[in-house]
Amino acid sequence: MTEENDQTSDGTLADLAREVLMDLYHALCGHYPKAVRVYGEGEALLLLLRFDPAELWGSERISSETLAEATFAALPDMIVSAVERRRGQALEPGELSVCTQRGLAVFAFRAPEDGAAASRAKSELFASLRPSRSSPAAAYL
């Protein structure tokens, strides 16, 4: 995998997302992926994962797209959590597309600008602490 193939709008966030995906894939199957490419434009961030389907479960071949998608389904949320924990910036997961015949998985994310994420985080900071009027305890407030 070479660095010159990456086309990103935000190198730091993209590099972190790529690193997290590589680590998660390694944890999933015990091998590093063949390649991970990152493409970004504006708020859009795409991670393209090249993998060997035989590596996912040893010598067995993946028999269906559904099984492969189920295997990768948890990765977008895990990437979002790791990026937010490490960098403090929230990604929003989008679509996941997996093609086992070609050994490709594409993860789409929305990377809001720092200002938008910060203002949203401030407005939602105490939202979960507000009492609900439908709860019995709220009747005494």
Residue 68 has φ and ψ, to the nearest 5°, of: -65, -45
Q: Where are the domains of the chain?
A: 3-140
Q: What is the mean pLDDT of residues 47-52?
A: 93
The mean-pLDDT minimum among 16-25, 78-87, 93-102, 123-132 falls in 123-132
Report, at the CATH architecture level, how domain 3-140 is classified: 2-Layer Sandwich (3.30)
Tell me if 82 sits within 8 A of 20, measured CB to CB: yes
| pLDDT, position 128 | 44
Greater confidence, 102 or 129? 102
Q: What is the mean pLDDT of residues 47-55?
A: 88
The torsion of the CA quartet 75, 76, 78, 81, rounded to 10 degrees, works out to 170
pTM of the shown model: 0.68
| pLDDT, position 64 | 57
Range 88-97 contact pairs with CB under 8 angstroms and sequence separation of 24 or more: 89/13, 89/114, 89/117, 90/117, 90/121, 91/13, 91/17, 91/45, 96/69, 96/72
pLDDT band at 58 (very low <50, low <70, confident <90, very high): low
Tens digits of residue pLDDT in 60-72: 555 556 667 777 8
Beta-bridge partners for 37: 48
